[in-house]
Amino acid sequence: MRPTHTAPAARALAAAQATTDRPGHEHLGPLSAHRGFLPTRPPLPRLPASHAAWDEAAAALPALFRDVAVREALDGLPVLPAGPDALPDAALQRAATVLGLLGHACVHGRATGPADLPAGVAVPWAQVRRRLGRSPEPVLTYPDLIVHNWRSAGGRDALPLLSDDLRLLVPVAGNEEERVFYLTQVEILARCAPVVTAAVAAQQAVLDDDAEALAAALATVTAALEAATRRSLPLIDPRPGARTAVDPVVWAKTVAPLAVPFRAGVLGPSGTASPVFGLLDALLGRRGHASQLGREILLHRRSAPPHWRRFLDAVDEVPVPAYVAARARPGLVAALDAAREAYAGPEGFLGRHRRKVSGYLAVAFLVGRGVTIGGFAGTPGEHTWHTVDAALTASRTERPVPPDARRPAAGGGHRARGRRLSVADVAEHNDDAHGWWVAVDGRVHDVTGFLRRHPGGTAALRAHAGLDATAAFGRAHPDRPAVRRLLAATDTGALTRPALTRARLLHEEWGAALAGLVQLQNAFRLDRSFGRGTELCRAGGDRPTALQADRAADTAARFGDGYLPRFAVEVLAPLAEHVLREQQAVPRRIRAVPGPPPGPGAPRQRLDGVDRRIAATKELLVAGARAFDTWGDAVLGRGELWRLAASAVPVCAGAATVAVSVPRAA
């Protein structure tokens, strides 16, 4: 009989628990058999009386954030000492959470604001980070933001910790979007606590050559992941009116920017920092870390608290997948496959997480979120959410799971209807007045009646209305009978394009310009909706908060002074020049001559002005698209196409005139 050896993971876990018991704090990383990566005692709710000023500032954060007054309040914060003589070790983690969130609220409280920190935050925060053995970079960590930032509303501390029973110790935005989004992650950590002991048991089973014990440990992993996937992940619900609704627009304008690092290239508390991912990768096997998120998870692992690093290193020492492959017992192989499927399969945790993330980030980038915590950055026109989705997919496929079943074309199996619809028809249907249409796999779908019932929320459909949404649909929807039935029920006709030869390339460019403009229109309306119900959106509405007014001013500036002029110069002016080339007319260069800068004006007047510019530009582009439908290749012989293109440039740019220059012959 093989001699029994204690699993390295068991030794690492025992060492962590012994160390935690002695000093009365968990600075080296909470790790225990009964609570996994969550602290063994509730996080400290307050600091010593000597540092009550920090707690008082933290308690005021939601009101200060709403009033856009965080910076002014923190400028008066006294510089309190944070050395060992002034602040006990047991208070360090609470101090790191409080000071980190004060700092991030200060920097990100305004849409455009100062990048420096007031001394009352910067000086003690640096001392606290040094005492915790962290990098000197002012970084809010995952333990600060999530692991140690909760309290039980009813005093209950037993697992599972459910987000319904939890409140944030240090809220910043103070809304449900923040509470649900962060505390759902605490709940997921709680549901995955059994994975820690299962990893130890699995490793011990390998050393003992006990296939039955290993299969039981893997079954525990599968059950924990299924609970997190089916019961916790859906709590972040984009549907308006849902019990745990997380409005994508509100989330993007308040919560999403708060934890972004102050400097590009610095690791922030993104989802890849969760120790659960590192543990599952080590336990279930991972092919590599070549993807951007794969490299990021390795960096997070290296900078994680010592107990977490040592435990994950110990799990690596006895590879469970290698043992399963060598034994090749059907039941054992099936147990490992089930755990891998529950983790990284298309309907597993990472598969469903990817679909949820894609929907939220598509809306977030449209409404002005310029960069994610993980460093993905871009404007609405750059479609950065496609990049993030590709990165999530690449990272998921680095985990060994069966390949996704090939999804048949979403339009397959529909009853073809005789109605023929053009890109102009679709483009006009992106509001309540005209209805809400999307195109998927060559078919046009009227989703007006489904808008408020959409499981992905109204914002996701509004973001893609009037557009070809095939790619977004494929990311978000697995091939299921219910999805096919819905597509059939909403099918309103075929998306058709005119039969063209000479004008084909110009029509494609014109259609791309129209789609780009519709996307800007959708983005602007979603962005502006942060002030819905207030006078920022309609006359006689409620008075907006300072935060809503701040975000509205940013919206007007980004679209009116940034996105639209850039679209005019980079898309519409080249389109007009292409028209002339195809018409074999005298070459002329077109450029916008800016008019006078906008006056101070009321925020709603500026927003209304931007809205009118977008609508007028769209009307011109729709008219041009219909000219192709009516005249076919003969459109090249008609002058209105040039007139429409040339008129669109100054309208979109907000210019006074349009200058057309005729180059002299050499």
pLDDT-wise least confident of 74-83, 119-128, 287-296, 562-571 = 287-296
How confident is the model at residue 364, as a pLDDT?
83
At 640 the pLDDT is: 87
Residue-level pLDDT at 595: 57
User: What pLDDT was estimated at residue 111?
Assistant: 81
Asked whether residue 414 carries a pLDDT value surpassing 80, the answer given is no
Q: How confident is the model at residue 154 (pLDDT cuts 50, 70, 90)?
A: confident
| pLDDT score of 575 more than 60 | yes
Domain 420-495 has CATH 3.10.120.10: yes
- What pLDDT is stored for residue 478 in this prediction? 76
User: Can you give the pLDDT at residue 410?
Assistant: 41
pLDDT in tens, 583-607: 876 556 666 565 555 555 688 999 9
- Tell me the per-residue pLDDT of 51-68, one tens digit each, with 9 for 90 and over: 999 999 999 999 999 999
Q: How confident is the model at residue 368 (pLDDT cuts 50, 70, 90)?
A: confident
Please give the pLDDT value at position 1. Answer: 40
Tell me the pLDDT tens digit for each residue of 204-224: 999 999 999 999 999 999 999
Task: Look at 321 and 155; give whichever has higher pLDDT.
Answer: 321
Provide CATH 1.20.58.480 ranges for the chain: 8-43+149-397
Give pLDDT tens digits for 645-663: 989 999 999 875 555 544 4
CATH topology for the 8-43+149-397 domain = Methane Monooxygenase Hydroxylase; Chain G, domain 1 (1.20.58)
Domain with CATH 3.10.120.10 in the chain: 420-495
How does residue 5 score in pLDDT terms, banded at 50, 70 and 90?
confident
Contacts with 345 (C-beta within 8 Å, 6 or more apart), sequence order: 351, 401, 402
| Contact (Cβ atoms closer than 8 angstroms) between residue 525 and residue 607 | no
Burial classification of residue 82, based on how many CB atoms lie within 10 Å of its CB (0-12 exposed, 13-18 middle, 19 or more buried): buried
Q: What is the arithmetic mean of pLDDT over 527-539?
A: 94
Which helix (H) or strand (E) covers residue 183, if one does?
helix 176-191
Residue 269: per-residue pLDDT: 92
Lowest mean pLDDT among 38-47, 159-168, 411-420, 421-430: 411-420
Continuous H helices in 255-329: 275-284, 292-303, 306-317, 320-327
How many other C-beta atoms can be found within 10 angstroms of the C-beta atom of residue 611?
17
Dump pLDDT digits (tens) for 454-489.
Answer: 888 999 999 999 999 998 888 888 777 888 888 999
Q: Residue 156 corresponds to which tokens in the numbers above?
A: 């209950």
Q: What is the pLDDT of residue 48?
A: 97
Q: How far apart, in Å, are the Cα atoms of 369 and each of 258, 341, 364, 380, 548?
A: 11, 32, 5, 9, 15
Biggest CA-to-CA distance, the chain: 95
**Predicted pLDDT at 405:** 39
pLDDT of 475: 80
Query: Which pLDDT belongs to residue 662?
Result: 45
Quote the CA–CA distance of 53 and 216 in Å, as a whole number. Answer: 51
DSSP output for 576-627 = HHHHHHHTT----EEEEEE-SPP-S--HHHHHHHHHHHHHHHHHHHHHHHHH
Mean pLDDT rounded to a whole number for the chain:
89
Count of C-beta atoms within a 10 Å radius of residue 507: 22
Residue with tokens 């649909």: 473
Q: What is the DSSP letter of 347?
A: T
Question: In the predicted model, is pLDDT for residue 412 greater than 50?
Answer: no
More confident residue, 642 or 546: 546
129: part of which helix (H) or strand (E)?
Answer: helix 119-131
Q: Render the burial of 26-63: b for 16+ CB within 10 Å, e for the rest.
A: bbbbbbbbebbbbbeebbbeebeeebeebbebbebbbe
Query: Are the CB atoms for 108 and 260 separated by under 8 Å?
Result: yes
pLDDT of residue 371: 64
**CB count, 10 Å around CB of 508?**
12
pLDDT at 63: 98
Q: 503: pLDDT confidence band, cut at 50, 70 and 90?
A: very high
- Give the residue-averaged pLDDT of 517-534: 95
Confidence of residue 505 (pLDDT cuts 50, 70, 90): very high
User: Model pTM?
Assistant: 0.91
Cis geometry, peptide bond prior to residue 160 (ω within 30 degrees of 0) = yes
Span 631-638, mean pLDDT? Answer: 91
- pLDDT-derived band at 369 (thresholds 50, 70, 90) equals low
619-624 mean pLDDT: 96
| pLDDT number for residue 3 | 52
The most confident of 137-141, 357-361, 383-387, by mean pLDDT: 137-141
Give the pLDDT score at 583: 81
pLDDT (0 to 100) of residue 615? 97
